Amino acid sequence: EIVLTQSPGTLSLSPGERATLFCRASQSVSSSYLAWYQQKPGQAPRLLIYGASSRATGIPDRFSGSGSGTDFTLTISRLEPEDFAVYYCQQYGSSPRYTFGQGTKLEIK
Amino acid sequence: QITLKESGPTLVKPTQTLTLTCTFSGFSFSTNEVGVGWIRQPPGKALEWLALIYWDDDKGYSPSLKYRLTITKDTSKNQVVLTMTNMDPVDTATYYCAHTPQHCSGGSCYYYFDSWGQGTLVTVSS
């Protein structure tokens, strides 16, 4: 079973700053199997990135994803007030089919 | 526009069986190569994938829960049903259903959940 470890657990930044979130897999993951989600309090997760680097429909271009193998990154180029939330990475595999990371909380400094 | 909505009991007793229904619109198992998955989230904790069913009746379960889970679909009603047996207080969580498309292009296939229901909080307590 592939385990996804996200870091940092909490990231404190100010609006306008750049945010870099990490997702490390315990084994190599196909880039096409890696996705990122944003979740705000009381809401369902929202798909941001699929295929490690493709933005989902309607996602602003300040969100970008990169990486390959075991190391993946979500970058938010300039933080807007609405970007402060919890972010999860997700991978697809054989068993289990889907795995989520433990999340990174992006909070206002 | 794809929408999904979870329904079921908000409170179950320990050892009881939980039955949750996901009713969706905007796609159909009979005309689209899609899947519907269930994901849960205990209060203040991370997302946990539970089960998935595809248009062709292919199914997948979380290895740690597979002996307690059953997922089925009713194509005519646009519904997916998840049952979880022997409920325990640790199963208290918000349960989400979500749509996953069959997305393959350029020789690669992509796997993700692009539309989610609002979630339903299930509390397990006597």
**B31 in contact with chain A, both atoms CB, cutoff 8 A:** no
User: What value does the mean pLDDT take over residues B5-11?
Assistant: 98
A95 has a pLDDT exceeding 90: no
Selected residues 2-61 of chain A with any CB under 8 Å from a CB in chain B? 30, 32-33, 35, 37, 39, 44-47, 50-51, 54, 56-57
pLDDT, residue A96, reads 79
What would the pLDDT profile of B88-107 be if each residue is shown by its tens digit?
999 999 999 999 998 888 88
What would the pLDDT profile of A46-88 be if each residue is shown by its tens digit?
999 999 999 999 999 999 999 999 999 999 999 999 999 999 9
Contacts of B117 in chain A (CB under 8 A): 44
Tokens of B14: 């320990």
CA distance A99 to A90: 6
Contacts of B114 in chain A (CB under 8 A): 47, 50, 56-57
Cβ of B108 and A32 within 8 Å? Answer: yes
User: What value does the mean pLDDT take over residues A20-26?
Assistant: 98
pLDDT, residue B35, reads 95
In three-state secondary structure terms, B93 is: strand
Q: Are strands A34-39 and A46-50 parallel, antiparallel or unpaired?
A: antiparallel
Cβ of B113 and A33 within 8 Å? Answer: no
**A94 in contact with chain B, both atoms CB, cutoff 8 A:** no
pLDDT, residue B34, reads 94
User: What value does the mean pLDDT take over residues B122-126?
Assistant: 97
Neighbours of B76 (CB within 10 A): 9
A93 has a pLDDT exceeding 90: no
Query: Which of B49, B108, B119 minimises the CB distance to A44?
Result: B119
Shortest CA gap B98–chain A (Å): 10
What would the pLDDT profile of B38-47 be if each residue is shown by its tens digit?
999 999 999 9
